[in-house]
């Protein structure tokens, strides 16, 4: 009996400890009656959550609206909408320039220096620089650098060898300070050789012997579909290719006229100039014929760029 009583007391203490521990554990795990405040996450509504209860605030009634203020606000909105919906006037289209004969003529005189005039089809060969070989374009660039006054012409084809694919009408040199009368029809290579001769030989020679520059060069023949010296049965002349030019007279700035002919006995300056031209011109041309060569060249110098197989130059 005493043993049973002594054993029951410790068992009651153990039971009490177990119950206390169990209660404490359940409280720590949230099984007890614990209330936690809910956090507002910024959803903009006045909602509080406690014990799974949602409290919704009452919706306030719309306040009375002043009719006059509403009308003015509505009018302002309509005016703003009308302003925003207004279509801006379209910018006027750029007016196209009217091309008249007078303006075309002015353009030809002032802007077409060294270029084709009146191009109808810029892609067509002979009417545009893009249809020319590279050598022709380079030649024209050199002419402009030398100050040659020229204009493009339509291709010439008179049959046989009488043709120039890219002819020029040449009217002056040294940016127009030296005139060529009348204007000559030549190919570009012949024009370039003649321009170099005028600048490098003729002008220095006249300044040395006559103390005056060249004013006008008078030519006797440029392009012409004919034989040499117009003789029947002779070979075709270089004139038929625009590859030759005949010079009959040179007028200086001081008014002196130097005619290309056999000079008189006492015409020392004229003889010296003509002899100088005859000898030095072969540096620029392959053929130079003048007074004293034959009866056909007694009154002019003949210059051309004939291509010979032996590369021979004829200076007579």
pTM of model > 0.85: no
* More confidently predicted of 14 and 100: 14
Q: What pLDDT is recorded for position 135?
A: 92
Distance, in Å, from the CA atom of 202 to the CA atom of 245, rounded to the nearest integer, reads 15
Distance, in Å, from the CA atom of 236 to the CA atom of 82, rounded to the nearest integer, reads 85
Q: Is 161 inside any structural domain?
A: yes
151, 168 contact by CB (below 8 A): yes
Q: Per-residue pLDDT tens for 189-207?
A: 999 999 999 999 999 999 9
Q: Is 56 inside any structural domain?
A: no
Distance, in Å, from the CA atom of 38 to the CA atom of 263, rounded to the nearest integer, reads 129
| Number of domains making up the chain | 1
Average pLDDT over residues 95-121: 46
Q: Per-residue pLDDT tens for 211-221?
A: 999 999 999 99
In a 10 Å sphere around its CB, with 0-12 CB exposed, 13-18 middle and 19+ buried, how is residue 126 labelled? middle
For residue 58, what are its two tokens? 């009452």
For residue 131, what are its two tokens? 């249809």
CA 17 → CA 21, 79, 242, distances in Å?
A: 6, 84, 134
Q: Is 183 inside any structural domain?
A: yes
Q: What's the half-sphere exposure (Cβ side, CA atoms, 13 Å) at 226?
A: 11
Distance, in Å, from the CA atom of 197 to the CA atom of 276, rounded to the nearest integer, reads 12
pLDDT at 302 > cutoff 70: yes
Distance, in Å, from the CA atom of 12 to the CA atom of 18, rounded to the nearest integer, reads 10
* More confidently predicted of 283 and 126: 283
Distance, in Å, from the CA atom of 115 to the CA atom of 153, rounded to the nearest integer, reads 9
Q: Which helix (H) or strand (E) holds 20?
A: helix 2-28
* More confidently predicted of 219 and 265: 219
Residue tagged 């070989």 (tokens): 133
**Phi, psi (rounded to 5 degrees) for 38:** -90, 145
Q: What pLDDT is recorded for position 8?
A: 55
Which residues fall within 8 angstroms of residue 264, CB to CB, at 6 or more apart? Answer: 270
Distance, in Å, from the CA atom of 131 to the CA atom of 172, rounded to the nearest integer, reads 25
Q: Is 257 inside any structural domain?
A: yes
Distance, in Å, from the CA atom of 157 to the CA atom of 240, rounded to the nearest integer, reads 10
DSSP H helical ranges for 111-165: 134-146
Give all strands (DSSP E) within 33-133, no chain letters: 48-50, 53-55
Q: Please work out, in degrees rounded to the nearest 5, the angle formed at the alpha carbon of residue 233 by the alpha carbons of 227 and 236.
A: 25
Q: What pLDDT is recorded for position 313?
A: 83
For residue 258, what are its two tokens? 């130097």
Q: What pLDDT is recorded for position 48?
A: 42
pLDDT at 71 > cutoff 90: no
Domain containing residue 211: 113-315
| Percentage above 70 pLDDT, the chain | 59
Q: Is 270 inside any structural domain?
A: yes
- How many residues in total does the chain contain? 316
Distance, in Å, from the CA atom of 217 to the CA atom of 176, rounded to the nearest integer, reads 12
Q: Is 291 inside any structural domain?
A: yes
Q: Is 25 inside any structural domain?
A: no
98-106: long-range contacts (C-beta < 8 A, 24 or more apart)? none
Q: Is 185 inside any structural domain?
A: yes
Closest CA to 197 of 174, 166, 228: 174
Distance, in Å, from the CA atom of 26 to the CA atom of 227, rounded to the nearest integer, reads 133
């Amino acid at each position: 009996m005493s043993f049973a009583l002594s054993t029951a007391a410790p068992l009651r203490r153990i039971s009490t400890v177990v119950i206390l521990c169990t209660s404490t554990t359940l409280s720590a795990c949230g099984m007890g009656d614990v209330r936690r405040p809910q956090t507002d996450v910024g959803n903009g509504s006045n909602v509080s959550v406690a014990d799974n209860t949602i409290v919704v605030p009452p919706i306030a009634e719309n306040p009375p609206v002043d009719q006059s203020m509403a009308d003015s606000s509505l009018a302002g909105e309509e005016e703003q909408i009308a302003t925003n919906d207004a279509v801006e006037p379209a910018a006027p289209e750029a007016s196209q320039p009217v091309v008249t004969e007078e303006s075309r003529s002015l353009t030809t005189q002032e802007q077409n220096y060294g270029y084709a005039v009146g191009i109808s089809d810029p892609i067509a060969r002979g009417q545009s620089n893009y249809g020319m070989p590279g050598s022709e374009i380079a030649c024209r660039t050199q002419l402009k650098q030398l100050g040659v006054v020229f204009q493009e012409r339509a291709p010439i084809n008179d049959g046989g060898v009488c043709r120039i694919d890219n002819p020029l009408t040449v009217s002056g040199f040294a940016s127009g300070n030296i005139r060529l009368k009348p204007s000559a029809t030549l190919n570009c290579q012949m024009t370039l050789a003649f321009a170099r001769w005028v600048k490098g030989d003729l002008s220095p020679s006249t300044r040395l012997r006559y103390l005056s520059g060249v004013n006008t060069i008078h030519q006797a023949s440029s392009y012409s579909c004919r034989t040499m010296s117009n003789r029947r049965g002779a070979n075709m002349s270089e004139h038929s290719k625009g590859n030759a030019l005949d010079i009959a007279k040179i007028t200086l700035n001081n008014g002196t006229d130097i005619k290309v002919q056999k000079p008189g006995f006492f015409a020392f300056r004229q003889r010296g100039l003509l002899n100088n031209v005859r000898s030095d011109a072969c540096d620029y041309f392959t053929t130079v014929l003048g007074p004293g060569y034959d009866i056909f060249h007694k009154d002019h110098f003949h210059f051309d760029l004939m291509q010979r197989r032996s590369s021979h130059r004829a200076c007579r």
